[in-house]
Amino acid sequence: MRNNRDRYIAFVMLLPSLILVGIFVYGFIGQAIQTSMTDWGQNPAQPPLAATVIKSFVGLQNYENIMTDTLEFYFRNALVNTFFFTVLFVLGCVAAGMILALLLDQKVVGEGFFRTIFLFPMALSFVVTGTIWRWMLQPGGGVNILPQVLFGLPPIEFSWINSRDVWLPFEWGNVPAYLTMAGIAILAFLAVRYASARRWRASRYAVLAAVIVLLVFAARLWDFVWLPLDTPEAETPIAPKGFNAALVGIIIAAVWQMSGYTMAMFIAGIRGVPEELREAARVDGCSELDVYRRIVLPQLNPIILSAMIILGHISLKIFDLVFAMAGPDNAKAVVPGLLVYTEGFRENAFAKASAIAVIMLFFVTLIIVPYLWSQLRESRSRGR
Amino acid sequence: MKKRLLIIGVLVMTLSLIGIVRAQDLSGQLEIFSWWSGDEGPALEALIALYNSQNPNVEVINATVTGGSGVNAKAVLKTRMLGGTPPDTFQVHAGQELTGTWVVAGRMQDLSGLYAEQGWNEAFPPDLIDLLTVDGAIYSVPVNIHRSNVLWYNPAKVEEWGVSVPATWDEFLAACPTLQAAGVTPLVVGEAWTVNHLWESIALGILGADGWNGIWTGETLANSPEMVAVWNRFSEILACSNVGADSAGLSWQQAVDKVLAGEAAFNIMGDWAAGYMSTTLGLEPGVGFGFAPAPDTAGSFMWLSDSFGLPVGAPNPDNTIAWLSLLGSVEGQNAFNPLKGSIPARTDAVAAAPDLYNAYLQSAAEDWAGNRLVGSLAHGVAANERFMGDFNTVMEVFIASGSAEAAASAMSAVCITSGACAGA
């Protein structure tokens, strides 16, 4: 009885925020999805900013356009850029943050001072960071002439954000094949793990599944599944895909800004490892290196995961840093967030912008939902 | 200093005169939405001071959103208009940025009555009014005129290198190896939009005024041989520039700085560069910096203009009408333009107070009154916003592929999706 009343009160207390979140988050997400399936801004006969625009339903036309239209290569560049940016930004932040945290854990003099210094970039906004780094990365000055000023060496020739170089080139048309292979690799990995956990009886099913997957692979099913992704032959000469060198400077600036944050998370994690555990390890003959490798780092795994999730969704949604550093029209450094802005508010192509926003949301969901799911399950199992 | 005193003197005189002559009983508020802050702020404030003296009971709200050529202001304006809370009046580039975005959307009110009442149909050039007009109705009042097709150089340096100021692109291309041998960038450009800016001057030079206007009326096809020739010529000229080296990181001011420092020979930029060089850097026009029409475009004036209109649903339309009347008047235009570094849209304003304008502005005003007038693409006059945005894609196609044919066919495709070339 008591329990029921508590639940009722809790529900009433939560109701206002549920309603607000329902309208202002999920309602608007719904509206964006709906808008993305109209021709708002695509139909020259209907001025997009009129008081009453007739928006016709066009299904997935906008999505198909940005994936296949020859002249929509900015979006495809943005997808590729997001991939490389996310991977390098997250790895860079985790690595730099970990190194800083381990160094600060050595009981250095003035630890508080250094911690503040390393954390300080986070207090800046991305726009400030971007503007500073843009100046520092000017081809004819800043970082490039640093060796010259300091040691009289020849200046660096790399043109940073202006660079049009493409490293690790690949064909956009092969992306579906890569994705399929990656998916199969993950499935195979899971199958093997499952089989080894359940001994051989279940492994029959796993082997069966693996064979089916391989058959699917062999049948080049992706040709049908991914047909809408096929792009014109012209893609490579116009917009070669690969790791755009223009991103290097932006990644450096982003890592500079956020590694202090991961450092703070890791320090908290390291400090959370009970001193007794370390003592015990030392008594058992562990070297200092082994103490970190076998005792401390394994305990940091959940924190590393949290850091990756948080950094990952920042990088998927990145806008301000790129806008400040590369401007909105640099095809080599374009990201989806920028395109939502330029397509929507500069070109009045609201439906196209919504489609890009929905795709961004989809990628963020891919990262966030499994994380929330596992967190929820963890706290539930802990609760019981 | 002397000039500024003079301007202030004239301002005070007109202020007091108008204050006596016109005592209207307007009250309430007037929200003026613009992107004029920073360097351009004083010019707007001079106008507002003039307005306040005419209408002391109106509270002027100066709503500016910073960002060059209105990049941010336009986005804010769009959310306000879509949200149903328009300002009383807003700054908008004359031409398609006004008509193609707001007039076709039914968001602006007809001002042709005000034009007739104020006699503006004679004061502004007909080519300009044409681009503010849709179906016989006129939708905004232009305050100023900037010129896009101007070639800037450093007279002392050009003499030192022994090259003449090119009147044609052929002359420029002939001088290019000499300059490169001297370790000088023959033509300097900056970030993406300045490349588009260069392109429109080159296209105007090759197509001529009629050919240029023909792009927007459907008479010059985007994939025609003439347009392919434009792209080919553009390619030759870019080979004499810093595109691909450090261009993308330069603002237009930094590009101009390179010309003044002698690291580059020529730059094509709008005549806000004259304001930058004469006001900010304190150089004398014709001495500290030289100017000429962009090669092959003598006799044509590629213009852009800031204008203000009356949006549908403006809360205080009477106050807005008074503001627009001030903007279109000789005293309003002469209060604003010397500070902004532009010329009045009225052809009779400079003659009324020639001392306010420096040598460059005087020559520009002369050309404005006598040249063929064509609208700028890079600054929102000639084509709608959709085309302008997609033109960046066309430019990227060209720079990445280096193919004039690919660029021409991309532009042709963009013409169709944006509907900009069918003659709106």
ipTM: 0.85
CA distances from B333 to A356, B58, B298, B341 (A): 44, 21, 26, 12
- B297, B303, B345 from B368: Cα distances, Å: 14, 9, 9
> Are B52 and B178 members of one domain?
no
The answer on pLDDT for B374 being more than 60 is yes
Residue B56 lies in a domain: yes
CA atoms within 13 A on the CB side of B121: 11
- CA angle B59/B80/B393 to nearest 5° reads 130
In this predicted structure, which of A110-114, A372-376, B376-380 has the lowest mean pLDDT? A372-376
pLDDT tens-digit map of A323-339: 999 888 888 999 999 99
Residue B70's pLDDT is what?
79
Euclidean distance between CA atoms A79 and B61, whole angstroms: 42
Q: What is the pTM of this model?
A: 0.87
Whether residue B134 sits in one domain with residue B263: no
Tokens of A109: 């003099």
Tokens of B170: 């052929």
Return all residues near B168 (Cβ < 8 A) that are at least 6 apart. B205, B295, B296
Is there a contact between B397 and A71 if contact means CB atoms under 8 Å apart?
A: yes
What is the pLDDT averaged over residues A79-98? 96
Q: Do B245 and A73 touch (CB under 8 A)?
A: no
Substitution target in B72, B90, B386 with the highest count of A β-carbons within 10 Å is B386
B387 & B408 share domain = yes
What share of chain B in percent tops pLDDT 90? 79
Q: What does the DSSP 8-state code read for residue B33?
A: E
Q: Which residues of A touch B (CB under 8 A)?
A: 41-42, 44, 47-51, 70-71, 73-74, 134, 137-140, 159-162, 164, 234, 237-240, 326-331, 341-343, 345-349
Q: What is the mean pLDDT of residues B292-296?
A: 96
d(CA A89, CA A302): 19
B233 and B111 belong to one structural domain: no
Q: Are residues B286 and B414 in the same domain?
A: yes
Residue A3 pLDDT greater than 80, yes or no:
no
Q: What is the pLDDT of residues B164-217, one digit of tens each?
A: 999 999 999 999 999 999 999 999 999 888 999 999 999 999 999 999 999 999
pLDDT score recorded for residue A104:
92
DSSP label of B103: I
Rounded to 5°, angle at Cα B100 from B215 and B346: 85
**Assigned token pair, B5:** 């005193």
Between A191 and B57, the higher pLDDT residue: B57
Confidence band of A10 (pLDDT split at 50, 70, 90): very high
Let me know whether B288 and B154 are in one domain.
yes
In the chain, the amino acid numbered A356 is: I
Residues B132 and B86 in one domain: yes
DSSP 3-state of B383: coil
Chain A residue numbers with beta carbons less than 8 Å from the beta carbon of B396 are: 73-74, 238-239, 331
Give the pLDDT of residue A229.
Answer: 59
Which one-letter amino acid corresponds to residue B194? T
DSSP-H helix ranges across B163-223: 169-181, 192-217
Q: Please tell me the distance in Å from A78's CA to the nearest CA on chain B.
A: 13
Q: Does B138 share its domain with B54?
A: yes
Note the pLDDT of residue A339.
95
The residues with which B302 forms a beta bridge, in sequence order, are B374
∠ Cα B72 B36 A134 (to 5°): 50
Are residue B353 and residue B402 in the same domain, yes or no? Answer: no
When pLDDT is averaged across residues B291-314 and rounded to a whole number, the result is: 95
Q: Name every chain A residue with its beta carbon within 8 A of the beta carbon of B257.
A: none
Q: Which chain B residues are closer than 8 Å to A143 by Cβ? A: none
Record: contact A237-B75, CB cut-off 8 A: no
Residues of B at the A interface (Cβ-Cβ below 8 Å)?
Answer: 71, 74-75, 78-79, 81-82, 101-102, 104-107, 191-193, 244-249, 312, 385-386, 388-390, 392-394, 396-397, 399-401, 403, 406, 410, 413-414, 417-419
pLDDT, average across residues A208-220: 66
**Can you give the CATH number for the domain in which B131 is found?**
3.40.190.10
Judging by DSSP bridges, how do beta strands B264-269 and B150-153 pair with one another? antiparallel
pLDDT surpassing 60 at residue A384: no
| CB-CB neighbors (< 8 A) of B101 in chain A | 47, 49, 348
Residues of B in contact with A46 (CB under 8 A): none
- Per the CB < 8 A criterion, the answer to whether B381 and B94 are in contact is yes
Predicted pLDDT at A232: 66
Picking from B82, B410, B418, the nearest residue to A44 by CB comes out as B418
* Chain mean pLDDT for chain B: 90
Which residue shows structure tokens 């994380």?
A: A371
Establish if B139 belongs to a structural domain.
Answer: yes
Yes or no: say if A331 and A259 are a contact pair by the CB < 8 Å rule.
Answer: no
In chain B, the residue whose alpha carbon lies closest to the alpha carbon of A44 is B419
Residues B51 and B156 in one domain: no
Flag whether B424 is in a domain.
no
3-state secondary structure chain A: CHHHHHHHHHHHHHHHHHHHHHHHHHHHHHHHHHHHCECCCCCCCCCCCCCCCCCCECCCHHHHHHHHCHHHHHHHHHHHHHHHHHHHHHHHHHHHHHHHHHHHCCCCCCHHHHHHHHHHHHHCCHHHHHHHHHHHCCCCCHHHHHHHHHHCCCCCCCCHHHCCCEEEEECHHHHHHHHHHHHHHHHHHHHHHHHHHHHHHHHHHHHHHHHHHHHHHHCCCHHHHCHHHCCCCCHHHHCCEEEECCHHHHHHHHHHHHHHHHHHHHHHHHHHCCHHHHHHHHHCCCCHHHHHHHHHHHHHHHHHHHHHHHHHHHHHCCCHHHHHHHCCCCCCCCCHHHHHHHHHHHCCCHHHHHHHHHHHHHHHHHHHHHHHHHHHHHHHHHHC
Same domain? B67 vs B53:
yes
Position A224 confidence tier, pLDDT thresholds 50, 70, 90: low
**Strand bridging mode B306-308 / B141-142:** antiparallel
Q: In sequence order, what are the residues at sequence separation of 6 or more whose Cβ sits closer than 8 angstroms to the Cβ of residue B84?
A: B313
Residue of B20 and A349 predicted with greater confidence: A349
- pLDDT for B114-142, tens place per residue? 999 999 999 999 989 999 999 999 999 99
Average pLDDT over residues A27-34: 96
- B154 and B136, same structural domain? no
DSSP B270-306: -THHHHIIIIIS-PPBTTTBEEEEPTT-TTEEEEE-E
In a domain? residue B34: yes
Please tell me the least confidently modeled range out of A53-57, A144-148, A154-158, A172-176.
A172-176
Is the pLDDT at A253 greater than 90? The verdict is yes
Query: Residue ranges of the domains in chain A?
Result: 1-68+349-384
For residue A161, give the nearest of B248, B393, B400 by CB distance: B248
Is B23's pLDDT higher than 50? no
Domain that holds residue B18: 2-146+304-375
* Burial of residue B183, with CB atoms counted within 10 A of its CB: 0-12 exposed, 13-18 middle, 19 or more buried: exposed
Tell me the shortest Cα–Cα distance from B107 to chain A, in angstroms.
7
How sure is the predictor about B246, in pLDDT bands with cuts at 50, 70 and 90?
confident
Indicate whether B280 pLDDT > 70: yes
Residue A382 pLDDT level (bands cut at 50, 70, 90) = low
- Total domains, chain B: 2
Q: Which of A263-272, A351-360, B244-253 has the lowest mean pLDDT?
A: B244-253
Distance of CA A372 to CAs A21, A93, A288, A306, Å? 17, 22, 35, 10
**Is B423 within a domain?**
no
| pLDDT band, very low/low/confident/very high, at A268 (cuts 50, 70, 90) | very high
| Nearest in space to B413 (alpha carbons), one of A69, A180, A132 | A69
pLDDT of residue B390: 92
CA atoms within 13 Å, Cβ hemisphere of A292: 11
Q: What are the phi and psi torsion angles at B88 (to 5°)?
A: -70, -35
